[in-house]
Amino acid sequence: MTAARRRRAAPPTRSKRRGRRGVVRQGPLRTHWLLLTALLLTLAATLLFQGYTQHLYDARPDQAATPAAAGTVPEAVRTGGPVIDTAGGQPRTAAPKPGTIALTFDDGPDPRWTPQVLDALKQSGVHATFFVVGTQAAAHPELVRRMIAEGHQVGIHTFTHTDLGTAPSWRRSLELREAQLTLAGAADVTSSLLRPPYSSTADALDDRGWSAVRQAGQEGYLTVLTTLDSEDWRRPGVPDIVKTVVAGPGNQGQIVLMHDAGGNRQQTVDALDVVLAQLKARGFRFVTVSEAVGMPDPVHPAGAADHWQGLALIWLLTGGGLVLDVLGWLLWAAGAVSVLRAVVVLVAARRHKRLRRRGWGPPVTEPVSVIVPAYNEIAGIEPAVRSLLASDHPVEVIVVDDGSTDGTADLVESLNLPYVRVIRQENAGKPAALNTGIAAARAELLVMVDGDTVFEPDAVRMLVQPFADPGVGAVSGNAKVVNRGGLLGRWQHIEYVVGFNLDRRLFDLAECMPTVPGAVGAFRRSALLAVGGVGEETLAEDTDLTMALCRAGWRVVYEERAKAWTEAPASLSALWRQRYRWCYGTLQAMWKHRGALAQQGQAGKLGRRGLLYLLMFQVLLPLLAPVVDVFALYGLAFLDPVRIVALWAAFLLVQVLMGVYAFRLDKERLGPLWSLPLQQFVYRQLMYLVVIQSVFTALAGSRLRWQRMQRYGSLQQPVTVDGPGAAQGTAPEPVGVGGYRARVHEAARNPGQGT
């Protein structure tokens, strides 16, 4: 190696690194959790309110209420007029004057039928009274304003068309107040007229309805019942509607019930012109309810407070509807994309398996330099190094001790193993340790290994076979979780086998591999030097390096037969720290290499395939996950719970099928998959929160410190390496490495031969 190359690969000093990065705030922010919580609570409140207004809306016809006992209804009310005032101690009623007809329309406004009713009334010069439903008025405030502008009278028909007789007192008050505020926000007016849904004539009042009428009177409302039901809600046909209305009045004044919403009202619209013409011909005068009973106009300008509260209520309803629409589209899109991803990943895995049967070309037998960066790895460094020396491929092992304080370097040196070199340096970080190892390596083919990883005997040999293709610059191996005990271990095992394994097969076929894991990866030394070695700008140096190689035109492939065993975090806090660093570092690398989106060749494949895939499935979809979960709870509460559970079961079935296939590909036992449903409920949420934390931290411009995982010594030593200087005694096999002893090759006894 030339002096220039050695200077280029040498690790930077700590002062240089500090100067380049500058003074930055360390550690994650806390305020974004408050923001996220506030957003989720706001979303939940919006969905609850939307569910209340939309899915507690009672769409039964007004006459569908079941009659009940009427023992408490005063006789004077039962035999009195249709307008009832219970504000005082003694209820009073009023009836329409003879020769007058007050047309009333319930359940609107409706964007299709209400304008047609208004047009017919305007053409005949008739004023009517419209009892509007609050949610309908909020959705179509322009129609309420048109009613007022054209001289019609408005009253309220509750907020969600609920049966006040069966509702508790608190909901009655809420229904009336919200309907009144909606009227104030929509048309800047208030009205003291109320028609309870499912009411009819005064003599049909029952005890429950009378209770609602009395409470409404105490809150300042006049209850308007009816004397003549057109029965247009039955849709009996235009002739029957006309006959019912025209034949009913006799010479008495009437309050006629019709509908401008609540279903198809074409028959009502068609009958209205005929009714108006025939009753006018008989000398009847059409008036509003207040005019019919001779009372002052009950509609008044709204106060400023009510008007603005009403506007806020309308905006909330409108925003809630928009949120539901957006969520609906997003959920459909996310579901479609997820299913498409599952299909593509499974097809790619099957094709990848067939392609691997063809081999890479002539066997690669040249020696390999294995670089092991180590910082306080005393718990696992010995089994890691011994497993490398047991490889059935010629290797030299370079342990770069990055300023360990636990005696890691001393332990490796005390083993006195052949073909193992220890290089000590001041603590400068993992990238600097790797660059030191690259500079000291003798071979062209390099394998980089974490200090907590144990290789299977054929892993190195399998890992370097793809280099038979001169276009291959790096190879990703197959990292396996060794500590699978407990739910957390099983969940990570499933994640490694299903998520990482299947995705890497897809990336390999698409030639856009974004990451060669630090636990098990191989590289061409010349390719590494050409891209400037391992960068220090991100916390995911393996992802950054892999993307740099892709952008330099090298192909990065996946060799699933190169298996290495690594220790996964054993606690939630350790898992959080590890994944937080991974995710944050991946975001850094994606941003650093965003220019690949506009490049051609191998770089373009990384940008337009790999980066977009990561953005979609590792950033955007996880960010939506809490919203999806909140919406799922909304669906269970307000939609069809059977349908929601069925959709969830279908999603889970897809995950299980992918898991089974991935486990079969990797020759793993299917037993751990029993915990997959629990993983979706618990572990998945944790991973989503990691992504959210990472994105918020990145947007805030904060930088994380390197967070090293605590080692527990789950990995055990492989069989003894017999040879000059080898340590004496027999050690147990690495946990989970099946058939380790039987597969130890003769080369394991002389691992450095040929280097």
Positions marked active-site? 106, 259
Whole-angstrom distance, CA of residue 103 vs CA of residue 48: 36
Question: Which ranges of 425-571 does DSSP label H, i.e. alpha helix?
Answer: 430-440, 459-464, 486-494, 501-510, 525-530, 541-551
Name the token pair of 508. 């390999």
DSSP 682-739: IIHHHHHHHHHHHHHHHHHT-BPPP-PPPP---S---S---STTPPPS--PPPTT-TT
- Helix 684-700 to helix 621-638 angle (10° resolution) is 130
Q: Half-sphere exposure of 720 toward its Cβ, with a 13 Å CA cutoff?
A: 12
CB count, 10 Å around CB of 724? Answer: 11
Pairing of strands 228-229, 222-224: unpaired
Whole-angstrom distance, CA of residue 134 vs CA of residue 139: 9
Asked whether 497 and 676 are in contact (CB, 8 A), the reply is no
| Encoded amino acid at 653, one letter | L
Three-state SS at 133? coil
Is the C-alpha dihedral spanning 437, 443, 449, 451 positive or negative? negative
Whole-angstrom distance, CA of residue 252 vs CA of residue 368: 107
Whole-angstrom distance, CA of residue 250 vs CA of residue 123: 25
**Rounded (5°) CA angle 43-49-50:** 85
From the list 347, 349, 411, the residue with the least C-alpha distance to 378 is 411
Element (DSSP H or E) covering residue 97: none
According to DSSP, residue 246 is labeled H
From the list 372, 418, 727, 711, the residue with the least C-alpha distance to 564 is 372
Pairing of strands 368-374, 445-448: parallel
Three-state SS at 610? helix
Pairing of strands 521-524, 472-481: antiparallel
Asked whether 588 and 538 are in contact (CB, 8 A), the reply is yes
| Bridge partners (DSSP) listed for residue 105 | 130, 258
**Rounded (5°) CA angle 40-31-620:** 50
Rg for the chain (alpha carbons), in Å? 38
For the stretch 92-110, what's the b/e string if a residue is b when 16 or more beta carbons lie within 10 angstroms of its beta carbon?
Answer: bbbbbeeebbbbbbbbbbb
The residue whose two tokens read 């009253």 is 155
Whole-angstrom distance, CA of residue 112 vs CA of residue 110: 5
According to DSSP, residue 102 is labeled E
* 3-state helix vs strand vs coil in the chain, percent to 5: 55, 15, 35
C-alpha distance from residue 553 to each of 537, 547, 608, 616 (Å): 21, 10, 15, 24
Three-state SS at 141? helix
According to DSSP, residue 126 is labeled -
Element (DSSP H or E) covering residue 650: helix 641-665
The residue whose two tokens read 């054929």 is 458
Whole-angstrom distance, CA of residue 639 vs CA of residue 637: 6
Three-state SS at 675? helix
